[in-house]
């Protein structure tokens, strides 16, 4: 008897609010899950509008739902959002489609909470200031659900994202590494934006504690979630 043809590799939607997140997540997929078929959706007005509004609006949340439904309509069986300032909107998108849907920093937060038992001092470095409140809330909610006591210190690195956008990657990495020294007493330090992943070696060289970047964590977590869906 002829054996059935092998199943095609899964189709994954990567939804971005800035073009700067595309290369880091693509590199992570190439390293960790190259078989996945990736579809990239970019709406680079989302970050601009989020900054201008000063808060996540209902209209913005609806745009996330619309993007997720579009991805579902193209045959995607899982969605990874790479934009870190939109947690509640991403949750709404996941509810709307019923697909495995991952927030960008969810897996990194889980890894940070597992760094050691007992009370934790965690640091968060961000190059997009609007992401800090929503990420802080998300981390503290995960810590509370795990009955963990967490002290979180956040540091915004101004101008670094502009450096990266204008091709000054070395300046971007240097500014982040310099800012990281403020978090030298933390048990682990997290890089908030996907676009910061390339700075991880420079930040790690400046700190004694583990430095976590979200793309690799997210790819592994999405693969695991889709395998169990």
What is the per-residue pLDDT across 21-51, written as a single tens digit (0 to 9) for each? 999 999 999 999 999 999 999 999 998 999 8
- pLDDT value at residue 10: 93
Helix (H) / strand (E) element for 162: namely helix 160-165
CATH number corresponding to 106-214: 3.40.50.1860
- pLDDT value at residue 3: 64
Name the percent of the chain lying above pLDDT 90.
90
Q: 48: closest CA among 90, 85, 95? A: 85
Contacts of 218 (CB under 8 A, 6+ apart): 25, 28, 80, 82, 102, 104, 105, 106, 107, 108
- pLDDT value at residue 5: 64
**Contact of 120 with 185, CB cutoff 8 Å:** no
**Contact of 220 with 106, CB cutoff 8 Å:** no
What is the per-residue pLDDT across 62-90, written as a single tens digit (0 to 9) for each? 999 999 999 999 999 999 999 888 989 99
- pLDDT value at residue 228: 81
- pLDDT value at residue 85: 83
Given pLDDT bands bounded at 50, 70 and 90, which one contains residue 98?
very high
Question: Whole-angstrom Cα distance, residue 177 to residue 56?
Answer: 29
- pLDDT value at residue 84: 82
- pLDDT value at residue 2: 63
- Phi then psi dihedrals of residue 43, to 5 deg: -125, 90
- pLDDT value at residue 7: 75
Question: Whole-angstrom Cα distance, residue 202 to residue 223?
Answer: 28
Tokens encoding 125: 């470095």
Please give the order of strands across the beta sheet that includes 101-102. 37-42, 11-16, 78-81, 101-102
Question: Whole-angstrom Cα distance, residue 176 to residue 168?
Answer: 13
Q: 76: closest CA among 24, 32, 20, 11? A: 11
Exposure of 180 in the CB half-sphere (CA atoms within 13 A): 28
**3-state SS of 70-137?**
HHHHCCCCEEEECCCCCHHHHHHHHHHHCCCEECCCHHHHHHHHCCCCCCEEEEEEECCCCHHHHHHH
**Contact of 171 with 2, CB cutoff 8 Å:** no
- pLDDT value at residue 8: 81
Given pLDDT bands bounded at 50, 70 and 90, which one contains residue 1?
low
What is the per-residue pLDDT across 188-215, written as a single tens digit (0 to 9) for each? 999 999 999 999 999 999 999 999 999 9
pTM for the full predicted model: 0.87
Question: Between 98 and 51, where is the model more confident?
Answer: 98
CATH class for the region spanning 11-103+216-227: alpha beta
Given pLDDT bands bounded at 50, 70 and 90, which one contains residue 153?
very high
Identical fold for domains 11-103+216-227 and 106-214, yes or no, is yes
- pLDDT value at residue 4: 64
Residue 176, Ramachandran bin (φ over 0: left; ψ between -120 and 50: alpha; else beta):
alpha
> Domain boundaries in the chain?
11-103+216-227, 106-214
């Amino acid at each position: 008897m002829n054996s059935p043809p092998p199943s095609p590799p899964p189709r994954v939607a990567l939804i971005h609010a800035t073009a700067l997140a595309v290369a880091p997540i693509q590199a992570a997929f190439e390293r960790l899950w190259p078989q996945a078929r990736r579809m990239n959706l970019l709406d680079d007005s989302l970050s601009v509008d989020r900054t201008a509004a000063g808060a996540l609006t209902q209209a913005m949340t609806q745009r996330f739902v619309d993007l997720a439904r579009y991805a579902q309509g193209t045959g995607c069986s899982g969605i990874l959002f790479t934009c870190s300032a939109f947690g509640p909107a991403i949750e709404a998108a996941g509810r709307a489609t019923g697909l495995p849907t991952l927030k960008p920093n969810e897996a990194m937060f889980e890894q940070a909470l597992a760094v050691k038992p007992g009370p934790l001092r965690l640091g968060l470095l961000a190059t997009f200031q609007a992401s800090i409140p929503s990420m802080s809330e998300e981390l503290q909610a995960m810590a509370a659900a795990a009955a963990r006591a967490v002290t979180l210190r956040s540091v915004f690195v101004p101008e670094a994202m502009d450096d990266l956008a204008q091709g000054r990657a070395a300046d971007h990495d240097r500014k982040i590494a310099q800012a990281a020294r403020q978090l030298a007493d933390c048990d682990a330090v997290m890089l908030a934006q996907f676009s910061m992943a390339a700075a991880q070696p420079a930040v790690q060289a400046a700190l004694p504690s583990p430095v976590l970047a979200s793309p690799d964590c997210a790819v592994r977590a999405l693969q695991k979630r889709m395998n169990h869906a």
